[in-house]
């Protein structure tokens, strides 16, 4: 695993709230080579897209709920 901030620094970009992966790596949103190689020595896989597996979400909920004022409405993204 590698932090998005590490990838962003290697690409001369920044991680901000709401940033999307294509912006981090400096390509167009419709960049066709989403499965291509990363940046050697920094990252080698694009993040997976789609829903979080239920077992992963269930294990994260108690941890994340402690860090919000509305634990009954816990939103997160991985």
Same domain, 25 and 13: yes
pLDDT digits (tens, 9 = 90+) for 33-60: 555 678 889 988 888 777 888 898 889 8
Same domain, 34 and 67: no
pLDDT range class, residue 32, cuts 50, 70, 90: low
* pLDDT of 7 higher than 90: yes
Instruction: Supply the range of the domain harboring residue 13.
Output: 4-47
Q: What confidence category does residue 9 fall into, taking pLDDT thresholds of 50, 70 and 90?
A: very high
35 CB-near residues (< 8 Å, 6+ apart)? 46
76 with 63, same domain: the answer is yes
* 23/58 same-domain check: no
Kindly state whether residues 9 and 38 are assigned to the same domain.
yes
The gap from C-alpha 38 to its chain's centroid, in whole angstroms, comes to 15
pTM over 0.85: no
Quote the tokens at residue 53. Answer: 């597996």
The count of domains in the chain is 2
User: Are 8 and 43 found together in one domain?
Assistant: yes
């Amino acid at each position: 695993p590698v932090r998005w901030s590490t990838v962003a620094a290697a690409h001369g970009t920044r991680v901000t709230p709401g940033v999307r992966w294509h912006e981090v790596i400096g390509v167009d949103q419709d960049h066709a080579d989403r499965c291509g190689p990363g940046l050697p020595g920094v990252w080698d896989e694009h993040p997976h897209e789609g829903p979080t597996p239920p077992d992963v979400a269930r294990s994260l909920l108690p941890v994340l709920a402690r860090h919000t004022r509305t634990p009954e409405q816990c939103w997160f993204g991985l």
